[in-house]
Amino acid sequence: MTPETFFGLFNYWIVICLMMTGFYIVISSGNLIKTVIGLNIFQTSVFLLYITMGKLTDPVKRVTAPILEGGHGDSHGDHSAHGEHVAQVSFEEHASEQLHDAVKHAHADLSEAGHGGAEHAHEVAEVLYSNPLPSVLMLTAIVVGIATTALALALIVRIREDYGTIEEDEILELDKELQ
Amino acid sequence: MMEFIVIPILALLFATAITVAVIRNLWAAVMFTGIYSFLGASWMLILDAPDVAFTEAAVGAGVSTILMLATLSLVPRSSRKRGSISNSDFETKDPPRRRVISSLLVVIGTGAMLIYGTLDMPLFGSADAAIQTYPAPSFIEKSQTEMGEHGLPNVVTAVLASYRGYDTLGETAVIFTAGIAVLLILRKNKASDEIGAGQSEVTS
């Protein structure tokens, strides 16, 4: 295993360790609230896994969050031109079979910027954007997660009202006695 | 530079998760869960997902911690001490040794399989990964022109509210259902209260 592979996969391994800690809390703990806490930790780790996959890195270009630069101040025409440029660049990025090609291309861009002056500055300072889709999906997942957590906690309160305890083994014993 | 910020965040995330696993006091465990969510949000910010980071900080660290604390205040361990709740009411019991060993084995086995599964995943940040090539570039490109005259700068918002708007509609349906369910579960029901009181008298 090369160091490159190691550091490339390192994030996934960290996330898996966190996930397994949450899983351990869920299956080892007999306390119902502790179980919900374990589920929450597991959930957050899954979010981290997806977000990690959506991140884009580039040796030369600036990579930033998927919030387009240029803002509302620009005119409409500027916007679309900017958009085409970004799309074109990312297409070339994906199409290039070797990373070196991309690096050379970007270097060419940069030197062109030096000669081109202020007119080109806006276009050459283009950035790559990380993937917005994992963010969108995880936003939905977070909100659904809080809904299920609330439901689980309500059930725990209800269980406590009827059984007087939130320890799993005590609840099972009470059930046995009732039978 | 970002790489060096990541290292302490990851170390703290790991330490917090382990602490939650071994700590016996439920109040402390809930607070550490909040810390875990905040650290996770910090890492998401570095991973270029500010929208998720904000939501995680507000919902994961804020709302969910408040819900858990509210639950804890409603569930003191023994009903007789309701007047004077002490910290020891919220100590969990240590799981039996056999259960600890068997769950450790299950967790290590599952983790090993998952790590084996990551071995042929695309490396971190690679531009030719499947996730980066197909739908995402067109979203970034189109959301500038399709959302009104000036476009919508935040692509995440554009996708969430428009391109995948039905997802968000379903999400609100889920929240609504959960809210109704919580209300129904927690509703003071006289008949069931009497049954519950009778049960606890019988068993105690």
Chain segment B69-109, per-residue pLDDT in tens: 999 888 765 444 455 556 666 777 778 888 899 999 999 99
Give the model's pLDDT for residue A94: 46
A118 with A158, same domain: the answer is no
Asked if the structure places residue A81 within a domain, the reply is no
Task: Show the domain range for A4.
Answer: 1-55+131-179
Q: Are residues A125 and A138 in the same domain?
A: no
pLDDT at position B58 over 60:
yes
Shortest Cα distance, chain B CAs vs residue A40, angstroms: 8
Q: Do A142 and B59 touch (CB under 8 A)?
A: yes
Q: Which helix (H) or strand (E) holds B147?
A: none
CA dihedral A29, A30, A35, A41 (to 10 degrees): -10
Angle between the B190-203 and A168-178 helix axes, to the nearest 10 degrees?
90
Mutate to test the interface with B, among A1, A6, A43, A67 (most CBs of B within 10 A): A67
Residue A80 covered by a domain:
no
Per-residue burial over B161-174, b = 16 or more CB atoms within 10 Å of its CB, e = otherwise? eebbeeebeebeee
Which one of B75, B169, B183 would you mutate to disrupt binding with A, by most A Cβ within 10 Å of its Cβ?
B75
On the CB side of A47, CA atoms within 13 Å amount to: 36
Q: Say yes or no for a CB contact (<8 Å) between B30 and A37.
A: yes
Contact A80 B119 (CB under 8 A): no
Q: Distance (Å, rounded) from C-alpha B70 to C-alpha B118?
A: 39
What are the backbone angles phi and psi of residue B128, rounded to the nearest 5°?
Answer: -95, 15
CA angle A24, A26, A28 (to 5 degrees): 60
- Taking contacts as CB-CB distances below 8 angstroms, the residues of chain A near B145 are 79-80, 83
Q: Do B131 and A133 form a contact (C-beta atoms < 8 A)?
A: yes
Q: Compute the average pLDDT of residues A64-74.
A: 68
* Contact call for residues A93 and B140 (beta carbons, < 8 A): no
Distance CA B87, CA B100 (A): 25
Average pLDDT, chain B: 83
What DSSP designation does B90 have? G
Same domain, A101 and A115: yes
| CB contact at 8 A, A106 and A60 | yes
Q: Are B118 and A16 in contact (CB under 8 A)?
A: yes
One-character DSSP codes across B14-83: HHHHHHHHH--BHHHHHHHHHHHHHHHHHHHHHTT-HHHHHHIIIIIIIIHHHHHHHHHHH--S-GGGTT
Radius of gyration (C-alpha) of chain A in whole angstroms: 25
Q: Which has more confidence, B141 or A80?
A: B141
Place B147 in a pLDDT band, splitting at 50, 70 and 90. Answer: confident
Give the closest residue to A70 by CA, choosing from A62, A54, A81, A60. A81
Which of B71, B78, B178 has its CB closest to that of A157?
A: B71
What whole-number distance in Å separates Cα of residue B172 and Cα of residue B189?
27
Cβ pair A167:B93 closer than 8 A: yes
Of A55, A134, A144, the CB nearest to B125: A55
Q: Provide the pLDDT for residue A35.
A: 93
Query: A74 in a domain, yes or no?
Result: no
H or E, element range at A129: strand A127-129
Chain centroid offset of residue B116 CA: 25
Mean local confidence (pLDDT), B115-119: 92
Q: Which residue has the higher pLDDT, B173 or A102?
A: B173
pLDDT at residue B92, as a whole number? 79
pLDDT confidence tier of residue B204, bands split at 50, 70 and 90: very low
Q: What is the pLDDT of residues A6-57, one digit of tens each?
A: 888 888 999 999 999 999 999 998 889 999 999 999 999 999 999 998 888 8
Interface test with B, best of A60, A68, A96, A176 (most B CBs within 10 A): A68
Q: How far is Cα A45 from Cα A19, in angstroms, rounded to an integer? A: 5
Q: How many CB pairs under 8 A join A and B?
A: 323
| Pairwise CB contact (< 8 Å): B17 & A52 | no
Mean pLDDT of A161-179: 87
Note whether A135 and A123 are same-domain residues: no
Side chain identity at residue A110, one-letter code: L
pLDDT above 70 covers what percent of chain B?
82
| Residue A70 forms part of a structural domain | no
The pTM of this model reads 0.78
**Least confidently predicted of B42-46, B51-55, B142-146:** B142-146
Pick from B72, B155, B167: CB nearest A129: B155
**A87 versus A3: which is more confidently predicted?**
A3
A2 belongs to a structural domain:
yes
Contact across the interface for A166 and B50, Cβ inside 8 Å: no
Q: What is the total count of domains within chain A? A: 2
Residue A104 contacts by C-beta under 8 Å, 6 or more apart in sequence?
none
pLDDT tens sequence across A92-130: 444 444 445 444 555 454 444 444 444 444 444 578 888
Residues A136 and A175 in one domain: yes
Residues in B closer than 8 angstroms to A45, CB to CB, are 40
